[in-house]
Structure 1
Amino acid sequence: MTAVLRDIPVIATDRLVLRGPLESDFAAHAAFYTSPRSHLVGGPADRFQAWRIFLSGLGHWALRGYGMWMVTERDGGQPVGRVGFINGLDWDEPELGWHLYDGYEGKGYAYEAACAARDHGARHFGIAAPISYIVPENARSLALAERLGASFERDGTVVGTPCQVWRHPRAGAA
């Protein structure tokens, strides 16, 4: 029997569904976290550590009332990545974060999902102008932050790693 937190909202866009994680999503999650692709978000991790990261996402929803959604294709339900809000231990404030699984970049999925998550966060979680922690060598995330209208705010650190803090525009700002 599969258990899920029933309070995780489901968001549908034209091509994607943002929903809570299911155990059946773990294979895609583990493939990402055990690969070198995850080095910009705390990986690589072994399969056991990937499982802990997966479960911590559910704990975040339970404790904070918001978290990372599993992003799936609307047609077929294939997991393409995760997007949402993280406010970890010693974080400055809630972060809008994202990562896509192998083979799903370059399709506009991260932009579509991040816009939907950011809008939902402003309307339902009171996160009107989130930050994103981005390591300077992550050119794809920097480009996405700019496309989302975020701007460089300052240098910072997250989990002991130097990064840049990018501020997203306040909800409703032109």
Structure 2
Amino acid sequence: MIPTLHTERLILRALRPADFDAFAAFYAGPRSHLVGGPLTRELAWRMLAMEAGHWHLKGFGRWIVEHRATGTPVGLVGLFEPEGWPEPELGWDLFDGHEGHGYATEAAEAARAHAYDSLGWSTVVSLIKPANASSARVAARLGCTRDGDFTHERHGPMQIWRHPAPDADGGIEAYA
């Protein structure tokens, strides 16, 4: 069962077939080059299926982020650890037109709280391509610190940003 998380402005929920058009549009666009794109619709479908299957195989994954007031999907945020990753990751991809509103930070805080509170994780990283300055700013807002580099066989060089441990600010409750 995929949990649903709620924040002040957002709902983090399971992927639905109706999310595919927004997902495919993002992965067809130029901003997706920072996260594995651009992709054709057929390859975007495979990516969507991989995201859904990750939940089944790992027991955690990434959620569609939906704006509470409008019901619009604004991105994909959550926990990710496919083969070839150095350790579990917290990642965020905002769909075009939804960046700059704090959605990535808000959703990532909820996902990180889930990782620490519900899954019992003691650490998590975010892997960010060096050219992705906006994601690096989100990582910094989340209290992450640079913790080395990683080179992926397909995605190339990535920066490792380590999230604060659950007890860094007085306990797990600090992330709720």
Confirm or deny a common fold (TM above 0.5). Answer: yes
Gap regions ≥5 residues in structure 2? 170-176
Runs of 4 or more above 4 Å deviation: none
Distance 1:128 1:14 in 2: 25
Residue aligned with 1:145, SS = helix
Give the one of 98, 106, 117 matched to 1:112.
106
Question: Are positions 1:93 and 2:104 aligned together?
Answer: no
- Using the alignment, how far apart are the partners of 1:131 and 1:9 within structure 2? 21
CA-CA distance at 1:76 after TM superposition: 2.3
Deviation by residue 1:46-80 (Cα, 9 ceiling, x = unmatched): 00000000010111000000000000001121000
Which whole-Å CA distance do the structure 1 matches of 2:121 and 2:51 have between them? 18
Matched residue of 2:65: which SS? strand
Q: Which residue of 1 aligns with 2:131?
A: 137
**What amino acid sits opposite 1:172 in the alignment?**
D
Contact persistence 1:134–1:163 (CA under 8 A) = yes
Where structure 1 has 5 or more consecutive residues not aligned to the other structure, the ranges are 1-6
Q: CA separation in 1, counterparts of 2:29 and 2:121? A: 31
Structure 2 Cα separation of the partners of residues 159 and 54 of structure 1: 21
Counterpart residue number, 2:38: 44
TM-score normalised by L of structure 2: 0.93
> Of the candidates 164, 168, 172, which is equivalent to residue 167 of structure 2?
172
Structure 2 residue aligned with 1:64 = 58
Deviation at 1:133, TM superposition (A): 0.6
For residues 153-172 of structure 1, the aligned pairs below 5 Å read 153-160=147-154, 161-172=156-167
TM-score (norm 1): 0.94
**Partner AA of 2:124 in structure 1:** P
For residues 105-160 of structure 1, give each alpha carbon's deviation from its aligned partner in whole angstroms, at most 9, with x where no partner exists: 11110010000000011111222320111111100000110110000000111344
Q: Distance in 2 between matches of 1:117 and 1:86?
A: 11
CA shift, 1:173, in A, is 1.1
SS at match of 2:99: coil
CA RMSD in angstroms, aligned pairs only: 0.9
Identity %: 50
Alignment partners' CA distance in 2, 1:53 and 1:25:
12
Q: SS of the residue aligned with 1:132?
A: strand
Shift of 1:36: 1.1
CA contact (8 A) 1:133 1:158 kept: no
CA distance in 2, matches of 1:21, 1:43: 19
